[in-house]
Structure 1
Amino acid sequence: MTLSTEYHDNGPNQAKNGGTVAGNITDARPHILVRSGLGRVRELIDNFTGESPSRFAILIFSALILVFTLLFSLPIASSSRTWTPLADSFFTAVSVICVTGLSTVDMATHWSVVGHILVYVGVQIGAVGVLTLASILGMVISRRLGLRAKLMAASDSNPMRGHRGPVAEGQAVRLGEIGSMLATVALSLVVIEAAIAILLFPRMLIDGIPLGNAVWHSLYYSAMAFTNTGFTPNAEGLGTFANDYWFLSILMLGVFLGALGFPVIYALKRHMFHTRFWSLHVKLTVLTTLVLLVLGAGVFALLEFDNPRTFGNLNASDTVFQSFFLSMMTRSGGFASIEISDLNGSSLLVADMLMFIGGGSASTGGGIKVTTLAVIFLAAMAEAKGSPDMEAFGRRVPPDVLRVALSVVLWGATIVALSCITLLQMTKAPLDHVLFDVISAFGTVGLSTGLTGDLENPAKYVLAMTMFLGRVGTVTLAAAVAATTSSKLYRRPEERPIVG
């Protein structure tokens, strides 16, 4: 038996002379085996990611957390050059990769320069990873459900959407444009963070911060604002800038853009002043975000204007500004110009609601997402009007979207309830403080009443898992629910249970 000449090292002459190529078979076999082995590995990865993107998401996030846990535990990462306890390094790694902002150690003083660099790099990886993963999952969801209006994690990349008239469902998602979209995600991250840092830098110099620290703090704050993480590089936190409204306004802008999400940023970049070209997802996200921002600020001003520990000693304009800042940060930002524990119980409950809702889909914010709330509101309005369809901005929202939205809300409420019960039993702390920190962890907000810093090790692991499930859970659940959609050749008899 002979092989074709492509497997010969000595050219075609040997085959022409009728010689066997047993020796050449031995020479070629390793290359064949290597190619076959790599091909099998590649095929397994492709099948795994294609058939179960939700499991792939969990695998990626888990791997990142384990790597950063090891790095944070090293002596070189701490300012004291000692090993950081496993519970603290694990909690920090989860908080960084999930861009949450909660901490069990003093982030400004505990970590060395290397530790701070790890935090900075980690939130960038976490933010880009979340956006990239959510974009891919959003496309998978949209393709399987055939939804043109539903953009869970990425904007509709079909350029024909800018034109009036129907668009074929098969063209609603063009997989060939995934690469350019994901490149735009990374570019947006770099450009927006650089712009925020440039705006913050001169203000820090004016406030008397040394040049080197001003450069580092500007970059650090810009990253924490856009990624909606909320860590601060200085021990005083925002206390130094509590009355610097320029500084706080820039932070609000960064948090606002990060919480909007890449689909909206992408659409605004193309059609900033042409709202008729906006997709339904973009319109719902922008409208719901602005409504929540204004309503939250109004409620906080009303509830805290006479609280001497928060806004009671401020004039009207300062109260309005601080109320908007608090409303923005409780959505997902994580920065605080006041002590959260000083808020009235009613304000804490309002903050719980805002944190549970969170930011936009495919954003650096957490929570159940503003579009989820918008879809449920549209369903309630349709039911109140007796309309069989959910409609908004001249478009009809398919019932499949409501199914996913309700599943996400139920999933989130279950996580919060179980975590609250567990931590209440462990800590014996007041319910309002436990509920606040748990929802802050689930919504990856990063605000705390002070409870997180006093947790025992078992409680730290519970809250860390709450952060993980809050970041990964809603996206993967939506993918899982979408994947279960299938056609049936029969329908069972209908019967209506009593509801309400």
Structure 2
Amino acid sequence: MAAQPVGRRGVVRRSWLGGVRDAIDALVRSSPSRFAIIVFASLILITTLLLSLPIARAGAGTGGTPLYDAFFTATSAICVTGLTTVDMATHWSPFGNAVIFIGMNVGGMGVLTLASILGLVISRRLGLRAKLIAASDTNPSRVHAGPVSERQAVRLGEVGGLLATVAISTLSIEAVIMLGMIPSVLAAGYDVGTSVWYSAYYSVSAFTNTGFAPNPLGPVEFFDDYWFQSLLMLDVFLGSLGFPVIYALLRTWRMPRRWSVHVKLTLTTTAILWVAGALTFLVLEYDNPKTYGAFGFGKTLYEAFFMSTMTRSGGFATIDMHDLYGSSLLVTDMLMFVGGGSASTAGGIKVTTLAVLFLAAYAEARGAPAMEAFGRRIPRDILRLAVSVVLWGATIVAVSTVVIVQMTKAPLDFVLFDVISAFATCGLSTGLTESLPPEGKYVMALTMFMGRVGTVTLAAALAAAQKRQLFRRPEERPIVG
């Protein structure tokens, strides 16, 4: 081992890289969640700078992209949202598209998992602190002080394997979907080079649940191509499951009995919401001449399932959201707000949060002393965490909606739709986002950031400290309901 440089008085001199490493390690020890948010915000600022450059915009002599549009696009890409304020197919140059392409992949890895990988690169090893950061992305309970009583979706000792699964599964799934899409894009009349690029772009955009489209018409160009749309749905579904679920399925797919409660709740709730959403869209929109009313039953049923998949955070649309009935807009709001699985590329409050709330209501109705699922007891602190996530999410949506309605005086149902889409990092839009004033775009970008970072992580980062209380006050029950 090389000797450390020693000064005149025998004091060991550390390199500047060692000093940076120590400073980062101290920040991770003081607040892992705050460190992760700083990393995520830094990536957004770097991407904004790159997209602001004249080289990132298509067309010679057009100048750079306005700061608010560059910032919004950078936030939408890193937060894998998919909302846009410019035409993604024509506005950006090859350099700009490359920046967005990389940003979608980086953002799809997750804020805490990404921070863990950066910590691994800096420290050259995955230590306990880095493992705690990565584990908190699979289980939000770890951001709180004290023991975690429920079985972990991924144990600390398995985090190294989880990070490898994130990288390998991401690249493998995206590559397979890309290869499957190339024939459909070729059949649409594009040359080989363009077909490969569009297929790769769609594959990354779908798996990360972003919803950006590289071609001018978007998924509408493949409206009659069931193979292409099915690949989009499969890609979005896999991305929205969550890496802990993919990790568990890869190891024990033949042994469902060994699946954790988290895996079973995620798969069960996802399937229920997918089928229920499709049937609801089928019933509500079957006679709407602007959406599904002009199609036969088979096509309408298929598109209803496509729509149900994309409301989970996929963001691709083959119909105009502006044309949906008000009842369908409300159903879409609810599905987007729930989102996908924990530690996935999807947003929202997550399907396990919804499942815990329903389990609590069911236990209360039965008079049961505790929540139970699949032969396991779920502790009450998980219920408190679920309620906190929902309240934080509802608060963010409510405040953003009020601010944007006041700015634009637009109809409430359209504003609420786009705000929930931003918070849940979904990307579906009624067209309102594109017409927002610059200040409204900043508000929407902040909503996307808070939705992607996660309400639990954000709350933990804003908390100054956890204090221990060595006494208990007298108990008294207020009247509820």
> Could you say whether these structures have the same fold, taking a TM-score greater than 0.5 normalized by the shorter chain as the test?
yes
Q: Which residue of 2 aligns with 1:397?
A: 378
Q: CA deviation at 1:475?
A: 4.1
Aligned residue type for 2:134: S
Q: CA deviation at 1:273?
A: 2.8
Q: Are 1:324 and 2:305 matched, yes or no?
A: yes
Equivalent runs, 1:215-230 vs 2, <5 Å: 215-230=196-211
Q: Percent identity?
A: 59
- Tell me if the contact between 2:140 and 2:457 (Cα under 8 Å) persists in the aligned partners: no
TM-score normalized by structure 1? 0.87
Equivalent runs, 1:13-412 vs 2, <5 Å: 26=8, 32-35=12-15, 39-81=18-60, 82-130=63-111, 132-133=113-114, 135-138=134-137, 141-142=140-141, 144=145, 146-147=147-148, 149=150, 151=152, 155-157=153-155, 173-174=156-157, 177-412=158-393
Q: CA deviation at 1:337?
A: 0.6
- Tell me if the contact between 1:271 and 1:278 (Cα under 8 Å) persists in the aligned partners: yes
- Tell me if the contact between 1:404 and 1:482 (Cα under 8 Å) persists in the aligned partners: no
Aligned residue type for 2:366: K
- Tell me if the contact between 1:135 and 1:362 (Cα under 8 Å) persists in the aligned partners: no
- Tell me if the contact between 1:332 and 1:359 (Cα under 8 Å) persists in the aligned partners: yes
Tell me, in whole angstroms, the C-alpha distance in 1 between the residues paired with 2:8 and 2:461.
47
Assess, with a 3 A threshold, how the Cα gap between structure 1 residues 469 and 446 changes in structure 2: closer, same or farther. Answer: same
| 1:451 counterpart (432, 449, 458) | 432
- Tell me if the contact between 1:367 and 1:470 (Cα under 8 Å) persists in the aligned partners: yes
- Tell me if the contact between 2:333 and 2:421 (Cα under 8 Å) persists in the aligned partners: yes
Rg bigger for which structure?
Answer: 1
Root mean square deviation of aligned Cα: 2.2
Aligned residue type for 1:408: V
Does the residue aligned with 1:107 lie in a helix, a strand or coil?
A: coil
Q: Which residue of 2 aligns with 1:160?
A: none
Q: CA deviation at 1:427?
A: 0.6
- Tell me if the contact between 1:137 and 1:479 (Cα under 8 Å) persists in the aligned partners: no
Tell me, in whole angstroms, the C-alpha distance in 2 between the residues paired with 1:95 and 1:138.
20
Tell me, in whole angstroms, the C-alpha distance in 1 between the residues paired with 2:9 and 2:189.
70
Aligned residue type for 1:53: P
Tell me, in whole angstroms, the C-alpha distance in 1 between the residues paired with 2:134 and 2:70.
29
Assess, with a 3 A threshold, how the Cα gap between structure 1 residues 112 and 141 changes in structure 2: closer, same or farther. Answer: closer
- Tell me if the contact between 1:141 and 1:483 (Cα under 8 Å) persists in the aligned partners: no
Equivalent runs, 1:410-429 vs 2, <5 Å: 410-429=391-410
Assess, with a 3 A threshold, how the Cα gap between structure 1 residues 97 and 147 changes in structure 2: closer, same or farther. Answer: same
Assess, with a 3 A threshold, how the Cα gap between structure 1 residues 381 and 111 changes in structure 2: closer, same or farther. Answer: same
Assess, with a 3 A threshold, how the Cα gap between structure 1 residues 71 and 119 changes in structure 2: closer, same or farther. Answer: same
Assess, with a 3 A threshold, how the Cα gap between structure 1 residues 270 and 7 changes in structure 2: closer, same or farther. Answer: closer
Q: CA deviation at 1:270?
A: 1.1
Tell me, in whole angstroms, the C-alpha distance in 2 between the residues paired with 1:292 and 1:140.
22
Tell me, in whole angstroms, the C-alpha distance in 2 between the residues paired with 1:306 and 1:73.
45
Tell me, in whole angstroms, the C-alpha distance in 2 between the residues paired with 1:7 and 1:332.
51
Number of residue pairs aligned between Structure 1 and Structure 2: 457
Aligned residue type for 2:219: L
Q: CA deviation at 1:50?
A: 2.4
Assess, with a 3 A threshold, how the Cα gap between structure 1 residues 316 and 483 changes in structure 2: closer, same or farther. Answer: farther
TM-score normalized by structure 2? 0.90
Aligned residue type for 1:339: D
- Tell me if the contact between 2:149 and 2:379 (Cα under 8 Å) persists in the aligned partners: no
Aligned residue type for 2:314: G
Deviations 1:242-269 (A, max 9, x none): 1111100000000000000101101111
Q: Which residue of 1 aligns with 2:448?
A: 467
Q: CA deviation at 1:492?
A: 1.4
Tell me, in whole angstroms, the C-alpha distance in 2 between the residues paired with 1:52 and 1:38.
21
Structure 2 unmatched ranges of 5 or more: 115-132
